[in-house]
A = this chain, B = another copy of it.
Amino acid sequence: MTKIRSMITCLLRLIALAATLCATIVMAAAHDSTEIFNLKFEAKYSNSPSFKYFVIVNTVVSCYTLTTLLIPHKSLLWRLILILDTVMALLLTSSFSAAMAIAYVGKKGNSNAGWLPICGQVPKFCDQATNALISGFVAILIYFFLLLYSLHAALTPVFCAKD
Protein backbone atom coordinates (compact mmCIF):
# COMPACT_ATOMS: atom_id res chain seq x y z
CA MET A 1 0.00 0.00 0.00
CA THR A 2 2.86 2.40 0.93
CA LYS A 3 4.64 1.50 -2.34
CA ILE A 4 1.53 2.26 -4.46
CA ARG A 5 1.02 5.52 -2.54
CA SER A 6 4.60 6.70 -3.17
CA MET A 7 4.36 5.67 -6.85
CA ILE A 8 1.17 7.77 -7.32
CA THR A 9 2.76 10.73 -5.48
CA CYS A 10 5.93 10.40 -7.57
CA LEU A 11 3.91 10.32 -10.82
CA LEU A 12 1.88 13.40 -9.78
CA ARG A 13 5.10 15.25 -8.90
CA LEU A 14 6.65 14.35 -12.28
CA ILE A 15 3.57 15.74 -14.11
CA ALA A 16 3.67 18.88 -11.90
CA LEU A 17 7.39 19.31 -12.70
CA ALA A 18 6.70 19.00 -16.44
CA ALA A 19 3.81 21.51 -16.21
CA THR A 20 5.73 24.15 -14.21
CA LEU A 21 8.86 23.77 -16.40
CA CYS A 22 6.70 24.10 -19.52
CA ALA A 23 4.90 27.17 -18.08
CA THR A 24 8.25 28.81 -17.21
CA ILE A 25 9.93 28.16 -20.58
CA VAL A 26 6.91 29.05 -22.76
CA MET A 27 6.20 32.30 -20.83
CA ALA A 28 9.90 33.30 -20.74
CA ALA A 29 10.25 32.64 -24.49
CA ALA A 30 6.97 34.36 -25.47
CA HIS A 31 7.82 37.20 -27.81
CA ASP A 32 6.25 39.28 -30.56
CA SER A 33 6.69 42.77 -32.00
CA THR A 34 4.70 45.22 -34.06
CA GLU A 35 5.08 48.72 -35.49
CA ILE A 36 2.59 51.49 -34.67
CA PHE A 37 3.19 54.91 -36.32
CA ASN A 38 6.83 53.88 -37.10
CA LEU A 39 7.41 53.08 -33.39
CA LYS A 40 8.45 49.50 -32.71
CA PHE A 41 6.48 47.90 -29.88
CA GLU A 42 7.93 44.73 -28.40
CA ALA A 43 5.84 42.33 -26.29
CA LYS A 44 7.66 40.06 -23.81
CA TYR A 45 6.98 38.67 -20.36
CA SER A 46 9.32 41.10 -18.60
CA ASN A 47 7.08 44.03 -19.61
CA SER A 48 4.59 43.05 -16.91
CA PRO A 49 5.38 42.49 -13.19
CA SER A 50 2.59 39.85 -13.08
CA PHE A 51 4.16 37.79 -15.90
CA LYS A 52 7.60 38.13 -14.21
CA TYR A 53 6.06 36.89 -10.94
CA PHE A 54 4.50 33.96 -12.88
CA VAL A 55 7.91 32.97 -14.32
CA ILE A 56 9.69 33.31 -10.96
CA VAL A 57 7.09 31.26 -9.05
CA ASN A 58 7.00 28.50 -11.68
CA THR A 59 10.83 28.34 -11.60
CA VAL A 60 10.83 28.09 -7.78
CA VAL A 61 8.11 25.38 -7.80
CA SER A 62 10.01 23.44 -10.52
CA CYS A 63 13.16 23.43 -8.33
CA TYR A 64 11.11 22.45 -5.26
CA THR A 65 9.32 19.61 -7.10
CA LEU A 66 12.64 18.28 -8.43
CA THR A 67 14.06 18.38 -4.88
CA THR A 68 11.09 16.43 -3.46
CA LEU A 69 11.67 13.76 -6.14
CA LEU A 70 15.29 13.39 -4.97
CA ILE A 71 14.60 13.22 -1.20
CA PRO A 72 14.91 9.66 0.15
CA HIS A 73 11.55 8.27 1.31
CA LYS A 74 12.82 7.63 4.82
CA SER A 75 14.11 11.19 5.32
CA LEU A 76 12.73 13.24 8.20
CA LEU A 77 12.24 16.11 5.71
CA TRP A 78 8.98 14.46 4.59
CA ARG A 79 7.42 15.83 7.77
CA LEU A 80 7.70 19.30 6.22
CA ILE A 81 6.54 18.34 2.73
CA LEU A 82 2.78 18.66 3.33
CA ILE A 83 3.24 22.22 4.66
CA LEU A 84 5.65 23.13 1.82
CA ASP A 85 3.24 21.59 -0.74
CA THR A 86 0.53 23.89 0.64
CA VAL A 87 2.82 26.93 0.31
CA MET A 88 3.73 25.95 -3.29
CA ALA A 89 0.04 25.47 -4.22
CA LEU A 90 -0.74 28.94 -2.80
CA LEU A 91 2.20 30.51 -4.71
CA LEU A 92 1.17 28.78 -7.97
CA THR A 93 -2.45 29.95 -7.55
CA SER A 94 -1.32 33.48 -6.74
CA SER A 95 1.02 33.82 -9.75
CA PHE A 96 -1.49 32.21 -12.14
CA SER A 97 -4.31 34.53 -11.01
CA ALA A 98 -2.17 37.67 -11.31
CA ALA A 99 -0.94 36.69 -14.80
CA MET A 100 -4.48 35.67 -15.84
CA ALA A 101 -5.90 39.06 -14.74
CA ILE A 102 -3.34 40.90 -16.90
CA ALA A 103 -3.76 38.47 -19.83
CA TYR A 104 -7.53 39.12 -19.69
CA VAL A 105 -6.97 42.90 -19.97
CA GLY A 106 -4.48 42.22 -22.81
CA LYS A 107 -7.14 40.18 -24.64
CA LYS A 108 -10.34 42.16 -23.90
CA GLY A 109 -9.05 45.54 -22.67
CA ASN A 110 -10.98 47.60 -20.11
CA SER A 111 -13.02 50.37 -21.69
CA ASN A 112 -13.87 51.92 -18.30
CA ALA A 113 -10.19 52.46 -17.51
CA GLY A 114 -9.28 53.31 -21.11
CA TRP A 115 -6.95 50.28 -21.43
CA LEU A 116 -7.03 48.95 -24.99
CA PRO A 117 -6.54 45.25 -25.84
CA ILE A 118 -3.11 44.49 -27.31
CA CYS A 119 -3.63 40.92 -28.61
CA GLY A 120 -4.69 42.22 -32.03
CA GLN A 121 -1.22 43.76 -32.43
CA VAL A 122 0.87 40.95 -30.90
CA PRO A 123 -1.14 37.72 -31.47
CA LYS A 124 1.92 35.42 -31.30
CA PHE A 125 2.81 36.70 -27.82
CA CYS A 126 -0.79 36.28 -26.65
CA ASP A 127 -1.00 32.69 -27.95
CA GLN A 128 2.27 31.75 -26.23
CA ALA A 129 1.20 33.43 -22.96
CA THR A 130 -2.13 31.52 -23.16
CA ASN A 131 -0.24 28.22 -23.54
CA ALA A 132 1.96 29.09 -20.54
CA LEU A 133 -1.17 29.91 -18.49
CA ILE A 134 -2.74 26.55 -19.46
CA SER A 135 0.43 24.76 -18.26
CA GLY A 136 0.34 26.84 -15.06
CA PHE A 137 -3.28 25.81 -14.49
CA VAL A 138 -2.41 22.11 -14.99
CA ALA A 139 0.34 22.53 -12.35
CA ILE A 140 -2.21 24.03 -9.91
CA LEU A 141 -4.61 21.10 -10.49
CA ILE A 142 -1.84 18.54 -9.91
CA TYR A 143 -0.68 20.29 -6.73
CA PHE A 144 -4.30 20.39 -5.55
CA PHE A 145 -4.64 16.61 -6.12
CA LEU A 146 -1.29 16.09 -4.34
CA LEU A 147 -2.58 18.10 -1.36
CA LEU A 148 -5.90 16.23 -1.26
CA TYR A 149 -4.07 12.90 -1.50
CA SER A 150 -1.58 13.83 1.25
CA LEU A 151 -4.34 15.25 3.50
CA HIS A 152 -6.41 12.09 3.03
CA ALA A 153 -3.39 9.92 3.85
CA ALA A 154 -2.48 12.06 6.87
CA LEU A 155 -6.02 12.34 8.26
CA THR A 156 -7.31 8.79 7.78
CA PRO A 157 -5.44 7.27 10.77
CA VAL A 158 -6.53 10.18 13.02
CA PHE A 159 -10.18 9.80 12.06
CA CYS A 160 -10.03 6.01 12.28
CA ALA A 161 -8.63 6.32 15.79
CA LYS A 162 -11.56 8.56 16.76
CA ASP A 163 -14.20 6.14 15.43
Using CB atoms and an 8 Å cutoff, list the residues of chain A in contact with chain B: 41-43, 47-50, 79, 82-83, 86, 89-90, 93-102, 104-106, 110, 112-116, 118, 144, 147-148, 151, 154-155, 157-159, 161
C-alpha spacing A101/B154, complex, angstroms:
35
Determine whether the beta carbon of A112 is less than 8 Å from that of B47. yes
Contact B115 A105 (CB under 8 A): yes
Neighbouring B residues of A41 by C-beta, 8 Å: 112
Contacts A113-B118, A158-B157 given; does A50 touch B89 at CB 8 Å: no
**A155, B154: Cβ atoms closer than 8 Å:** yes
**Chain B residue at minimum C-beta to C-beta distance from A147:** B86
Partner of A113, one of B47, B112, B151, B154: B47
Q: Given the interface contacts A94-B94, A101-B101, A110-B47, does A79 sit within 8 Å of B144 by beta carbon? A: no
Copy total for this chain:
2
Complex formed: what's the CA distance from A157 to B156 in Å? 11
Main secondary structure of the interface of A (DSSP, over half): helix
Q: How far is the CA of A157 from the CA of B79 in the complex (A)?
A: 12
Of all chain B residues, the one with the shortest Cβ separation from A114 is B116
- The listed residue (B100, B114, B116, B118) touching A98 by CB distance below 8 A is B100
Partner of A102, one of B42, B95, B101: B101
Docked pose: A115 CA to B105 CA in angstroms: 10
B151 contacts A101, C-beta separation under 8 Å: no
Contact B100 A102, beta carbon cutoff 8 Å: no
Flag if A154 contacts B147 (CB, 8 Å).
no
CB distance from A136 to the nearest CB of B (A): 12
How far is A116 from B116 in the complex, measured between Cα atoms in Å?
A: 10
